[in-house]
Every structure is written in C-alpha cells, then in structure tokens.
Structure 1
Amino acid sequence: MPVPLSSLLLYSFIVAALLLMGWLLRRFYQERQYRRRPYVAPAHNNWALQPVPAEPPAHRVALLGDPGAVATDGTDPILNLLAGWQQETGPAGTVIILGDNVYPTGLPAPEHPGRAAAEARFGALLEALGQFPGQVVLLSGNHDWNKGRPDGWEYLRRQEAYVREQLPKAHYLPLDGHPGPVTLQLADNLLLIVLNTQWWVQRGPRPAADPKAPFRELRRLLEENRHQRVVVAGHHPLYSNALHGGKFTAKQHVFPLTTVYKQAYVPLPIIGSLLPLYRKVVGAAEDMAHPRYRKMRRRLLRVLHDFPGVIYAAGHDHNLQYFQYKGGHYLVSGSGSKTAFVQKGGRAAFVHEHKGFFSLDVYAQGETWLRTLEPGQEEVFRLQLQPALPATPVVVPQSDEVKQAPQA
C-alpha cells in the first residue's frame, strides 16, 4: 500500500528537523570550545618567540573601532587602555577611530530625547582623545549615519561639526561625507589613506560623486606611494569571520531575535535559521552579502590585491580579526565598546571575541609590528607585517596636511 504524500512530507520534515538539531548541537559544542578565547592560525603559533626590535618605534598607530557605547563614569576599560597607550606613545603617534563613534544612531538633533545620552558617550571619547599630544583621526560608520537611514547625511554633518567644536585638532575624514580617498602623512614613510565606505551603502541624500572614481584615485595614490608603508582605513571590513561576514552562532539559529536584541530569547527553531541564511546570502545593508556592499568590496579588493604590503583597517564587527591574504593585511578592530561572536579558522590568522584594539608599531628601519591590546590581558598576539619597506626608503617630510581627492 503506497504511503500517503502527507505522511512522506511529515517524515521528511521530521528527518530534516532532526538533522538540523544535530548540526546545531554539534556547532554549539564546538563554539563552546573556543568562544572568547584567542585563536591563532597554525602558521603563526610561534608568534610569542619572535623578537621585537629593542629600540622604541618611530611612530605608533592605534586602530580603535566602534567605541560608541563607552562608559561615561571614568571606568571604561577601553578608554583606560587607550589612555595608557597614549601616555606610553607620546606625540609620535596617531589614534584612528574607525567609525560607529556614537551608538545607537549617531548624534541626534539637540531637541531629540536621545541627545543627552549620545552627547555624554561621545563626550567621554572626545575627552580621552583630547589628552593625546599626537594626531587624532575620526572616520564615520553606519551608526553615525543614523544606521544608514535616508536622513543619515544630516546626522553625519552634525557629528562632524560637533567634533570641530569640541576637539578642533582632530581630523574628521573624509570631509562632509564624501567618499574620498583622502591622505594624511602620519610620519616619514607612513601614509594614511581614508575612505568613507558608508557612502557606497548609504540610502538617501549624500554628496554627489562618481562611484567608480574613488577606486581609480586610490590606485593612483597607491602607485605613487609604493615607497611608503600605507594604511588604508574604512569602516567596513573586507574579510570577516563574524556577523557582517555571514557567520552566526548556533544560538542565533534557535533564538534569531538575539541577533538584534541580546535578551530576546524567543525560540524559533528551524524558522530561525532563515534569518542567518538570508543575511549570509542576501544581506542587510550593513552585511557583505548585500549588493551595494558586495560591489564596493569587490572594487576595493581589486585595487588592494595589486599592492602587497598595504594594511587595510576597519571596524564594524565587534571583535578583533587579522587576515593576511594575497600579500595584504586586513584588520577588523571593532570591539571598542561591544563584543560579538567571531568564528575561528578560514582565512583568519588571528581572531578574538574580546574588547580591545590593534596597534601598529612602525620602526625607523621600516619594520612594522601588529600588536593586540586588550584590557586586563597579557599580549595575546603580535606579528611583524611583511613586506617591510625598502632598505633605503624615500623620506617624505612629515605633515599634518590632509589632501582631499577631487570629487566628481
């Protein structure tokens, strides 16, 4: 007697549900083994044995992303860690804030009910940066553009004006929400190039520009500065083993609403797996899978892959990640005030779900060391970045001049 179609469908559903639950349980067990522990790829397991130069660095760069939810009572661990770094570094250094400077939606208008809280958080960050005798650079992220909403440019311009008023020595780049690229000479043979990656994914009004022109300009700048160590900074990562790269925990498959609100423990098994699948394949506007983000990322990587040794630094995902790929160095330093799951392995040389930031220590002989700084932790990872500069580098006079690329 043939089995009814309805029974076959039911059996198929039960089998699929059991397989999914088995996979989730296995994933959950695996994640428990490494979550919140530093992961170092086997190729770099001997990192602690590598000797660092005895002399002090010629210049240091702190790369700190997503500090928009720092504590305002003086107890914030990241601000205290940054204060120690600033004191140790002195004037021969640069702090680069990689965007998402104010959570949850940037700096609202003065009459907005959330203005006081936003101003307190941002004020705590700017006060800490104001103590630093070196250079300060701030980028904008999607939250600074009111989470990418159509009125985001208004929020961005308000924040930029606030920084000019409260911390006049800081560079808020690129100016007025333009895509860039803009350059800032940090020290001899150390050049910073800033891109406003949010420009490519932003909805609503934004400065007019040819979306392809910035990549042509970036290529020209990299070609002209092959003699220098170049750091390219943008808010959005180009490689990521975390949320915006389509990586989710087993818990988020069962409780998908916790992706948005951490306490939203509403069980939606099976159905809940559709959200991670959607964000991995289609993507929200802030995800790598989203068409606008994907196009921007593809064009940017097409340029960067032609220039080995360039360092690309981003925030956005709330963890610490380092990728070495096709001769380039790709950093995610977005745990300035929050932390979130990051998956080990893949192309990652190092990942850690922990508050902290990366520091680049650049030496007079051209060596550049990546250091991982975390509150209350011994050093969990460091690495000399290759290739180093030529033995006889071309010296470019240090300047605070910011060069804005012409906008189309």
Structure 2
Amino acid sequence: MYLLKANKIRCAFLASAAVIIQVLCLLQSTYAQQADSIRSRVILIGDAGEMDMQQDGVIGHAARQVLTGKTTVFYLGDNIYPRGMGLPGSKEEQETKDIIKSQYTPFRKLAAPVYFIPGNHDWDKSGPLGLAKIQRQDSFLKEQGDSLLSMIPANGCPGPVEIQLSKDLVVIAFDSEWWVYPYAKETAAGTCDCNTKEETIEKFKILLEKNKHKMIVLASHHPFQSYGSHGGYFSLKDHIFPLTALNKNLYVPLPVLGSLYPLLRTTFVNPEDKAHPLYTGMINRIDSVFAGFPNLIHVAGHDHGLQFIKNDQVQVVSGSGAKHSYVRKGKHALYASTLPGYVIIDQLKNNYVRFTYYAQTDGKFEQVFTFVKEFIPGF
C-alpha cells in the first residue's frame, strides 16, 4: 500500500513537472517569436543623472530588455545633476564621473550602444560654466575609448546628428539646450558643422531629404509638447507648497502666496519653459522643416514623468529616470504618469513602430501603456 501511494505521488509530481516544462517552453518560444519580429529596439531614459533607488530600479529593469544586436540606448539629457560634469580638480569631479558611469555601464556590459543627449542641467543648470561642463562630459566619454559610447551632439555643438539604426529607422539628435542657453556658447573654429541657428535648420533639411523614406526619431532634451510644469501646467502642491520647487523637502504651506509661483512662472518665463520666446522659436523653426512629414516621432525628457501625446505629431516624454514631478493627462495625452520608468520603441518587420512604457507600480516594474504607429511609405 505504501509503495502504491508513493508511486502515485511520484507520477503526479512528474506530470506537474512536465506541465511546468511545457509552459516554460511555450513562454520561451513566444518570447523568441516576439523578439524575432523586432528589427530594432530603442530604449529611452531621461533625467537619470542622480544615483538613487529610482535610478537604480529604472536602469536595472531597462537593461533586462536588451535584445542582443538590436538594442540602442539613448539618455535624453540631464545626465548629471545638479550642475553637470565636475571640471578637473573640482570637489564634485569624481562623484559626477560615477553618476554617468552608473548609467552606461549596465548597457555596455550587454554590448548595447549608449548615447547621451545634453540637457540643461548638463549645461551647468543653464549657468555660465555650461559650455565648459558639456565639453568635459563629452571628453570624459571619449576617454573611455569606446566607439559605441558617446555624447550626441559632441563638443557643445548644436547638431543635428544622425544615428542610423536600421535600413528604415534613423535617430536625428540635436542639443535643444544650445537653442535656449543664455550665456556664451561659441566653440573653437572648425569644431562644429553648424554654428548658427540658420546653419542648423539647413542641416535639418538636408537630413530630412536624405532620410525621407524612413521612420525618423527626433531626439532632444526639451519636448515640443508636454503637460508638465515646463509645458505650463502646475499641481495643487505648487500652489500650496511652492518652496518644494527649490527643495523637495520644503513643505511649508503658503496657500495664497504660493499661487504666485505658477503665476510668476508663466508671466516672467524661464527659457527652460515652453512659453519662453527662445523655446517656442526653436519649436516653430524645427517644426517648419518637418511639416507634413508623417513618419516622425519626437522623443524628449525634461519634465519628470512619462507621457505619450498624439495629435498631428507624436511626442514621447521619458523623463522619470531619477526624478518625478507633476504631469497631467491633457487633451492629447493618451498616457501620463509621474511613476519611475522608461520607454521602449520597437521597429517591427513591417516598419511600424511599437511604443511600450514601463513604470514602477507597487514596488515592481510593469508594462503600463502600448501604442503602435503605422509607417506611411511613399513620402
């Protein structure tokens, strides 16, 4: 009797194990089929320039999404908080080196190319040492002797720069902070292909003509559309606790005076906010180049959240690599969140692109939004 029961238990265990193996094989096969349908993968992480639990979680999860030989990583600016790369001999030099290493090391270990786009904090938080600090960040990356690790554009130049990811997918990156930076930004003669806004616009036209039969990802730090504070939208917290804009821990209630902060910010506009003439001028001039082009995707950071905005344009905002701030779900937002996270763009075999948003909810990262954009041939 004992042997009979033991055999039954053993048979039941083997049957259960067989089912588990079949399920695992099915999942592995499904994943392989999905990966095989992807021509190229782009991982977008913005505003990740602070080594904290949020940054560690975002980068760690994103690194697990790397498809060998198909994945390229773009950091969308504000790569080093609070004021960019420490200059040689400064007390913050080593710390800032460690911050940027923490971002590229996990992906380079997996052989994924990594590109850093400049943000306003990389330009000395739009301060007078901006050009020196952005050039130092660039030179530090070059010192690593890794051809698949770089800043784009390089040397404090405005760009634009093209990165060909596949036959039908190209990233065109430019330094949007260069457009709004209020201090001297002239580089040494012969350093940059473009030195004025007029030359930059002409280069955009050349790159559009060259790549007009492809899907173009236009990458910058500043978004062309946003429902966050840089886009002119503010939370109740901004009205009641305005000092948190200076320090996240300054929860001093100023319910009446606090409402002056959003008002003043929209009246006396900062160049980092979309309402400023330098910012809107950049948008208008670059938009005029790509007007009517259907296969364009804007990607940016700057506002510390995740947004997918779709009207006559597609705007991806992936800015919650290490920070979070107010974002609302505006009229054209199909998704908006302040959760830590990042975005993946997959080019599929039919040249459509699939956007997948991952965010941390209840302590774990989950897929929270997906959208597929068709490719329109014959432009």
Shared fold (TM-score, shorter chain, > 0.5): yes
Q: Does the alignment pair 1:77 with 2:57?
A: yes
Deviation at 1:63, TM superposition (A): 1.0
The percentage of counterpart residues that share the same residue type is: 34
Q: Distance in 2 between matches of 1:196 and 1:306?
A: 23
Q: Could you say if the C-alpha distance between residues 279 and 302 of structure 1 is closer, same or farther in structure 2, counting changes exceeding 3 Å? A: farther
Alpha-carbon contact 2:138-2:150 (below 8 Å) kept:
no
Partner residue, 1:33: none
Q: Could you say if the C-alpha distance between residues 54 and 145 of structure 1 is closer, same or farther in structure 2, counting changes exceeding 3 Å? A: closer
TM-score, normalised to structure 2, is 0.83
Q: Does the alignment pair 1:336 with 2:321?
A: yes
- Residue identity matched to 2:121: H
Q: Which has the higher contact order (CA 8 A, sep 6+)?
A: 1
Deviation at 1:55, TM superposition (A): 4.2
Report the secondary structure of 1:193's partner residue.
strand
Partner residue, 1:59: 40
Q: Does the alignment pair 1:313 with 2:299?
A: yes
Deviation at 1:225, TM superposition (A): 1.8
- Residue identity matched to 1:156: I
Alpha-carbon contact 1:100-1:316 (below 8 Å) kept:
yes
Q: Could you say if the C-alpha distance between residues 166 and 54 of structure 1 is closer, same or farther in structure 2, counting changes exceeding 3 Å? A: closer
Per-residue CA distance 1:13-70 (angstroms, 9 max, x = gap):
xxxxxxxxxxxxxxxxxxxxxxxxxxxxxxxxxxxxxxx9784301100111111013
Alpha-carbon contact 2:55-2:322 (below 8 Å) kept:
no
Q: Distance in 2 between matches of 1:91 and 1:159?
A: 27
Q: Does the alignment pair 1:101 with 2:86?
A: no
Report the secondary structure of 2:265's partner residue.
helix
Q: Distance in 2 between matches of 1:198 and 1:191?
A: 22
Report the secondary structure of 2:197's partner residue.
coil
Q: Distance in 2 between matches of 1:207 and 1:189?
A: 35
TM-align CA RMSD: 2.2
Residue range with higher mean Cα deviation, 216-225 or 182-191: 216-225
Q: Could you say if the C-alpha distance between residues 323 and 75 of structure 1 is closer, same or farther in structure 2, counting changes exceeding 3 Å? A: closer
Q: Does the alignment pair 1:120 with 2:98?
A: yes
Partner residue, 1:140: 118
- Residue identity matched to 2:354: W
Q: When the two structures are aligned, how many residues end up with a matched partner? A: 336
Alpha-carbon contact 1:126-1:166 (below 8 Å) kept:
no
Deviation at 1:291, TM superposition (A): 2.1
Q: Does the alignment pair 1:220 with 2:206?
A: yes
Q: Distance in 1 between matches of 2:61 and 2:290?
A: 31
Q: Distance in 1 between matches of 2:171 and 2:272?
A: 24
Per-residue CA distance 1:79-127 (angstroms, 9 max, x = gap):
21122012xx111111111111111111112322223332222221132
Name structure 1 gaps, 5 residues minimum: 1-51, 394-408
Per-residue CA distance 1:274-309 (angstroms, 9 max, x = gap):
221122343222111222112112222233332122
TM-score, normalised to structure 1, is 0.78
Partner residue, 1:46: none
Q: Does the alignment pair 1:379 with 2:379?
A: no
